[in-house]
Amino acid sequence: MEFAGSNILSIQQFERADVERVFSVADMMEPYAHRRRRTKVLDGAILGNMFFEPSTRTRVSFGSAFNLLGGEVRETTGFESSALAKGESLYDTARVLSGYSDVIVMRHPAEGSVAEFAAASRVPVLNGGDGANEHPSQALLDLYTIKSEMAGRGRGIDNLRIAMVGDLRFGRTVHSLCKLLCLFDNVHVTLVSPQELGMPGEIVERMRSAGVDVLESDQLESSIAAVDIVYSTRIQEERFSTQEEADLYRGRFRLNQSVYTANCEPNTVIMHPLPRDSREMARELDDDLNDNPNLAIFRQTDNGVLVRMALFALVLDVVDQVDAHASDVTWCTAGRF
């Protein structure tokens, strides 16, 4: 794909070479994301960060990624603080906000809304999640994390064995990740969920048509016994018609240290798009895993900044200029990376 000036709306835009290009640029961003260097390559550029659905990691990491490239961030959070609450259309909002910004990231609870917004925007738009549909930057950072974790074991993404566990019906992160895995060879995916929360049939069929080996199961322990990655997801309660319906499934598939030790291979990587639900009735990924060195959830969040920096650099066509605008970091970075 031609990245410069393009919208990033769906994983379906990407070929394998495009993914590898993003990852190559993300690798270049590591000194800046880890505060060993700083760059002002986007000095004067403005990101419109428009989030009409709750978000912590995606919103802040997109903003941080833009700041780390030297740009400025303007944010809108929630319908109540926007003109949409007054009846303004997505078309009008897009026309106005794209006059104030050089690039826009948008999250919206309605499927297809970000694409509708992008069609009217005068600047590139990146999809920060549209309902239960897609979350392309999350899928890219998840796959980048998988690549990094497997590299430490002398492996690549090809021949991957992964179990996706939990709410696969409404979990947009797994929808996008499944589509992305179709680009790789000899991938084995086990989908673990209650039947009512299974992966949408069209995504399962897409994977199988692409040569992905797919197994569907409602049994956690046997499904995580021979995989490289366990990717856990929470119950997406905000997408159920009632709280009572969501509560029927909460806590059904709990991964804790005892379950991990009894069933997983010793180096099985644990991933989760976050937030994990740490309430007692849920705990799909228990706090007792926090000291497990194979818990990669916080490496995932760190990788999100790298990948989102790469997307901005590619879309705004500054990849070759980043180092030319670099200088040393002058503050204490606390050695947190």
Find out whether 79 and 85 touch, Cβ atoms under 8 Å.
yes
Q: What is the pLDDT of residues 201-243, one digit of tens each?
A: 999 999 999 999 999 999 999 999 999 999 999 877 676 667 7
- Average pLDDT over every residue of 22-30: 98
Specify the pLDDT at position 82: 66
Q: What is the pLDDT of residues 272-284, one digit of tens each?
A: 999 888 888 778 8
> For residues 268 and 238, which has the higher predicted lDDT (pLDDT)?
268
Specify the pLDDT at position 241: 62
- The Cα–Cα gap between 233 and 165 comes to 6
Angle at 111 between CA 106 and CA 112, to 5 degrees: 70
109-146 as b/e, with b when 16 or more CB fall inside 10 Å?
eeeebbbbbbebbebbbbbbbbbbbbbbbbbbbbbbbb
- The Cα–Cα gap between 5 and 333 comes to 33
Check pLDDT > 90 for residue 311: yes
**How far from 11 is each of 37, 135, 164, CA to CA, in Å?**
31, 8, 18
Find out whether 100 and 46 touch, Cβ atoms under 8 Å.
yes
Q: What is the pLDDT of residues 129-155, one digit of tens each?
A: 998 788 999 999 999 999 999 999 999
- The Cα–Cα gap between 114 and 119 comes to 9
Q: What is the pLDDT of residues 31-56, one digit of tens each?
A: 999 999 999 999 999 999 999 888 88
Give the active site residues.
57-58, 86, 107, 135
- Average pLDDT over every residue of 19-35: 98
Query: Quick one: what percent of the chain has pLDDT higher than 90?
Result: 77
Angle at 48 between CA 28 and CA 129, to 5 degrees: 75
Using alpha carbons, select from 17, 132, 72 the residue that is nearest to residue 312: 72
Using alpha carbons, select from 203, 195, 135, 193 the residue that is nearest to residue 168: 193
Find out whether 180 and 20 touch, Cβ atoms under 8 Å.
no
Query: How far does Cα 100 stand from its chain's mean position?
Result: 26
- The Cα–Cα gap between 336 and 230 comes to 25
Query: How far does Cα 285 stand from its chain's mean position?
Result: 18
Average pLDDT, the chain: 93
Specify the pLDDT at position 133: 83
Q: What is the pLDDT of residues 77-101, one digit of tens each?
A: 766 666 776 788 999 999 999 999 9
CB count in 10 Å sphere of residue 53 = 20
